[in-house]
Chains A and B, each alone.
Chain A
Amino acid sequence: MNDDELPLSRELANAELASAYVDGALDEAERAAAAANPDVMALVDSFARVRAAISDVEPVVYSTRTAAIAAALAEFDARHAADDGSPVIAPAAIVTSLQSRRIRSYRILTGVAAAALVGVIAVAALNSGGNRGNDLSSTAATEAPAAGAAAPDSPTAKSTDVESAAGETFAIAAAEAAPTALGVPVIESEEALAQYATGFEAAAAPAADMATTDAPSIAAADAAGGSADRLPTCVTSEQIVLGPIVFQGTSAYAVRDSSSGELQAIALDDCRVLAAVPAP
């Protein structure tokens, strides 16, 4: 027996009539009959509110949407590669739970944050050494190893020992980005954001040669006492987090999309994209 074959009570009959009224599924005579019944019209009002509430779904987070479509396209690519006889990328290696990806992203974010902090301290120490002469250069030599001790395997920590042009670029970008007391750069424009990213990436490049996994970053984050569960859910594995920033007064983080190359400032609170700079 189906639901529609069960005997209807008056309440259920009214509910079905009201529901069909809300759906616009009544003919004129039925509609007139419904409109003449206050009990039905009360239900119509109530059902219309329910319908409006259910259909009012929260907007999709941009990165969630992008990640899902990328995963589906990766599946498409894998299937076509199989058809062509090319090596197949197992979908299981591409499609992972968003929850687990978020956890990984948090770790990357905290790792990069810790590395950025180490970088700022090292740059400040180097600048200080340059201003006050060689006798004070030992400041850098003492502070940098201290940071390294906090994250002994961190490749970015090792890179602070490298006095290179890339390091100077990062120093300029960091100085123009006006670091806060916590070492988080304050950035006011898209141009400054691009400059910060360029400097950061150039400074991180030598370290990237040494980095093969996330493990050092995670170790750095753990050593720095990073609290992964306070970080937002906006980042996917397709996005490379450059570091935490304050963009036009809003706590955010700078992110590079690994596929499009676009640079973004994403708000920490609600994942809004505060600024987007196309790939250079």
Chain B
Amino acid sequence: MTAAQGGDRGALDQLLRRHYDRVHAVCRRITGHEADAADAAQEAMIAMVRNLDRFDGRSSFGTWAYRIATNASLDELRRRKRRAMPVSADDDDHHRHHEVADPDSGQRIDAIGDHMALDAALRQLSDDYRLPVVLRDVADLDYAEIAAVLEIPIGTVKSRIARGRAALAESLSPSTGNQPTDPERPSRAP
């Protein structure tokens, strides 16, 4: 980090590579759309470079990066609303490819169905609930880090994560036929 701030291009390259996938994952879950996530993640990478000299080390680089990724994703969502492009032919085509060409298409379709249901459920959540849930479950930030990123009290973070998860669980419940099939994962304590 220090080397990157000092102008070491190789160090910056490594830093960006180390954090890109998780930044993209955060963008993917906030925007709910692959192309928007790719744009937001790229904008976030550029913003990190532009603001590298302002990073003071008071938080971890990851926390700082996720704050930038969150803002880039929200910017991208605002741009998307202005574009008024609700459905991506790109994504539909991608899904059709799997349905037709993949020998394991049955499982693939289930997985795609899960992902689409999850995207739809996340879209129904307001930013107030979606952001803390994503920062907790995708970025693996603890409550204090999420509070710092979103600039809200820790108690509010806990409450919003709980409410967001409850709303998602309801949207994805078996009664709606959308229960995710992924197994339980161990979780890092916040």
Contact = CB atoms under 8 A, between A and B. Distances in A.
Contacts of A2: 152-153, 155-156, 159
B158 A16 contact: yes
A76 B11 CA distance: 12
Contacts of A233: 35, 90, 94
Interface residues of A, number: 57
B61 interface: no
Given A19-B161, A50-B169, A52-B183, A229 B42 contact: no
Interface of A is mostly: helix
B19 to A, nearest CB: 10
Contact of A53 (B118, B134, B187): B118
A69 B156 contact: no
Given A2-B155, A54-B118, A64 B180 contact: no
Interface in A1-37: 2-6, 11-12, 15-16, 18-20, 22-25
Contact of A55 (B46, B137, B172): B137
A49 B137 contact: no
B28 A47 contact: no
A251 B182 CA distance: 31
Contact of A72 (B39, B49, B93, B168): B49
Interface residues of B, number: 69
A230 to B, nearest CB: 7
Interface of B is mostly: helix
B25 A64 contact: no
B188 A53 contact: no
Nearest to B17: A69
Interface in A26-70: 43, 45-58, 60-61, 64-65, 67-69
B138 interface: yes
Nearest to A63: B38
Given A4-B156, A67-B42, A15 B35 contact: no
Given A24-B190, A51-B187, A233-B90, A68 B165 contact: no
A4 B153 CA distance: 9
Given A4-B155, A50-B168, A12 B163 contact: yes
Interface in B130-188: 133-134, 136-138, 140, 143, 152-153, 155-156, 158-163, 165-166, 168-169, 172-173, 179-180, 182-185, 187-188
B180 A98 contact: no
B21 interface: yes
B126 to A, nearest CB: 12
Interface of A: 2-6, 11-12, 15-16, 18-20, 22-25, 43, 45-58, 60-61, 64-65, 67-69, 71-73, 75-77, 79-80, 91, 95, 97-99, 102, 229-230, 233, 269-270
Would you list the 5 A-B pairs with minimal beta carbon distance, nearest first? A4-B155, A53-B180, A24-B189, A19-B162, A72-B45
9 contacts: A22-B165, A53-B172, A54-B134, A67-B42, A68-B24, A68-B38, A69-B16, A73-B49, A99-B35
Interface of B: 7, 9, 12-13, 16-17, 20-21, 24-25, 28-29, 34-35, 38-39, 41-43, 45-46, 48-50, 89-90, 93-94, 97-98, 101-102, 114-115, 118, 122, 133-134, 136-138, 140, 143, 152-153, 155-156, 158-163, 165-166, 168-169, 172-173, 179-180, 182-185, 187-190
